[in-house]
Amino acid sequence: MSPAAKSKLDERRLCLHQVTVLQQWSTQQFIDGMQRHGIGAVALWRDKLREVGAAEVARMLKGTGLAVTSLCAAGLITTPDPQETVAAIDELKRAIDDTAAVGAGSLMFVAGGIDPRDKNLESTRKRVLDRLAGLTHYARAAGIKIALEPLHPMTCGLRSVLNSTKTANDWCDVLRADDVFGIAIDTYAVWWDHDLERELMRAGKRIINFHVDDWLSDTQDLRLDRGMMGDGLIDIPGIRSMVEAAGYDSYVEVEIFSQRNWWKRDADEVIRIVKERFQTAV
Amino acid sequence: MSPAAKSKLDERRLCLHQVTVLQQWSTQQFIDGMQRHGIGAVALWRDKLREVGAAEVARMLKGTGLAVTSLCAAGLITTPDPQETVAAIDELKRAIDDTAAVGAGSLMFVAGGIDPRDKNLESTRKRVLDRLAGLTHYARAAGIKIALEPLHPMTCGLRSVLNSTKTANDWCDVLRADDVFGIAIDTYAVWWDHDLERELMRAGKRIINFHVDDWLSDTQDLRLDRGMMGDGLIDIPGIRSMVEAAGYDSYVEVEIFSQRNWWKRDADEVIRIVKERFQTAV
pLDDT in tens, A187-246: 999 999 999 999 999 999 999 999 999 999 999 999 999 999 999 999 999 999 999 999
Cα separation, A167 vs A234, whole angstroms: 22
Partners of B15 in the beta sheet? Answer: B41, B253
With CA atoms as reference, report the closest residue to B271 among B49, B40, B20, B66: B20
What percentage of residues in chain B have a pLDDT greater than 90?
Answer: 97
Which of A194, A216, A217 is facing B166, going by the closest CB pair?
A: A194
Confidence band, pLDDT 50/70/90 cuts, at residue B7: low
B238 and A116 in contact by Cβ < 8 A? no
Q: What is the largest CA-CA distance in chain A?
A: 51
pLDDT in tens, A53-93: 999 999 999 999 999 999 999 999 999 999 999 999 999 99
Q: How far is CA A49 from CA A18, A19, A64, B3, B84, in A?
A: 10, 11, 17, 56, 51
The answer, for A259 touching chain B at a CB cutoff of 8 Å, is no
- Chain A contacts in chain B segment 135-174 (CB below 8 A): 152-154, 156-158, 161, 163-164, 166-167, 170
Specify the DSSP class assigned to residue B134: H
The whole-number pLDDT of residue B2 equals 40
DSSP letter string, chain A:
--GGGSSSPPGGGEEEEGGGGTTT--HHHHHHHHHHTT--EEEEEHHHHHHH-HHHHHHHHTTS--EEEEEEEEE------HHHHHHHHHHHHHHHHHHHHTT-SEEEEE-B--BTTB--HHHHHHHHHHHHHHTHHHHHHHT-EEEE----GGGTTTTBS---HHHHHHHHHHH--TTTEEEEEEHHHHTT-TTHHHHHHHHGGGEEEEEE-B--TT---SSSB-B-TTSSS--HHHHHHHHHHTT--S-EEE---BTTTGGGS-HHHHHHHHHHHHHH--
List of chain A residues whose C-beta atoms are within 8 Å of the C-beta of residue B164:
194
CB B49 within 8 A of CB B58: no
The whole-number pLDDT of residue A7 equals 61
Which of B157, B191, B192 is facing A233, going by the closest CB pair?
A: B157
- CA–CA–CA angle B173, B177, B181 (5° rounding): 85
Instruction: Report the sign of the C-alpha dihedral through residues B186, B184, A217, B51, in that order.
Output: positive
Which of A154, A222, A233 is facing B116, going by the closest CB pair?
A: A233
Cα separation, A237 vs B174, whole angstroms: 29
Average pLDDT taken over every residue of chain B: 96
Taking one residue from A and the other from B, the number of pairs with CB-CB distance under 8 angstroms is: 89
Domains of chain B plus CATH, in order, are 27-280 (3.20.20.150)
- Over residues B241-248, mean pLDDT: 98
The answer, for A233 touching chain B at a CB cutoff of 8 Å, is yes
Q: Is B4 a residue whose pLDDT tops 50? A: no
Which distant-in-sequence residues (6+ apart) come within 8 Å of A197 by Cβ?
A242
pLDDT in tens, A229-268: 999 999 999 999 999 999 999 999 999 999 999 999 999 9
Confidence band, pLDDT 50/70/90 cuts, at residue A2: very low
Cα separation, B54 vs B164, whole angstroms: 31
- Over residues B5-28, mean pLDDT: 90
Cα separation, A282 vs A271, whole angstroms: 15
Confidence band, pLDDT 50/70/90 cuts, at residue B8: confident
The answer, for A7 touching chain B at a CB cutoff of 8 Å, is no
Cα separation, B149 vs A28, whole angstroms: 50
- Which stretch of DSSP H or E encloses residue B106? strand B106-110
- Over residues A180-184, mean pLDDT: 98
Q: Is B3 a residue whose pLDDT tops 70? A: no
Instruction: Report the sign of the C-alpha dihedral through residues B127, B133, B137, B139, in that order.
Output: positive
The whole-number pLDDT of residue B1 equals 39
The answer, for B123 touching chain A at a CB cutoff of 8 Å, is no
B119 and A233 in contact by Cβ < 8 A? yes
Q: How far is CA B232 from CA A86, B209, B241, in A?
A: 26, 22, 18
The answer, for A192 touching chain B at a CB cutoff of 8 Å, is yes
Q: Is A35 a residue whose pLDDT tops 90? A: yes
- Over residues B73-102, mean pLDDT: 98
Which distant-in-sequence residues (6+ apart) come within 8 Å of B82 by Cβ?
none
Confidence band, pLDDT 50/70/90 cuts, at residue B78: very high
The whole-number pLDDT of residue A6 equals 47
DSSP letter string, A48-108:
HHHHH-HHHHHHHHTTS--EEEEEEEEE------HHHHHHHHHHHHHHHHHHHHTT-SEEE
CB B265 within 8 A of CB B20: no
The whole-number pLDDT of residue B199 equals 98
The answer, for B1 touching chain A at a CB cutoff of 8 Å, is no
A113 and B233 in contact by Cβ < 8 A? yes
Find the residue in B nearest to A188 (Cα): B154
The answer, for A121 touching chain B at a CB cutoff of 8 Å, is yes
Average pLDDT taken over every residue of chain A: 96
Cα separation, A234 vs A216, whole angstroms: 9
With CA atoms as reference, report the closest residue to B210 among B135, B124, B127, B106: B106
The shares of helix, strand and coil residues in chain B, as percent rounded to the nearest 5, are 45, 20, 35
Which residue type sits at B63?
G
With CA atoms as reference, report the closest residue to A18 among A153, A211, A181, A152: A211
B193 and A166 in contact by Cβ < 8 A? no
List of chain B residues whose C-beta atoms are within 8 Å of the C-beta of residue A152:
153-154
Q: In this predicted complex, what is the ipTM?
A: 0.94
pLDDT in tens, B32-71: 999 999 999 999 999 999 999 999 999 999 999 999 999 9
Q: Is B5 a residue whose pLDDT tops 70? A: no
Euclidean distance between the first and the last CA atom of chain B, given in angstroms as a whole number: 17
Q: Where are the alpha helices (DSSP H) in chain B?
A: 27-36, 46-52, 54-61, 82-101, 121-134, 136-142, 165-175, 187-190, 196-203, 236-245, 267-280
Q: Is A28 a residue whose pLDDT tops 70? A: yes
- Over residues B200-229, mean pLDDT: 97
Confidence band, pLDDT 50/70/90 cuts, at residue A8: confident
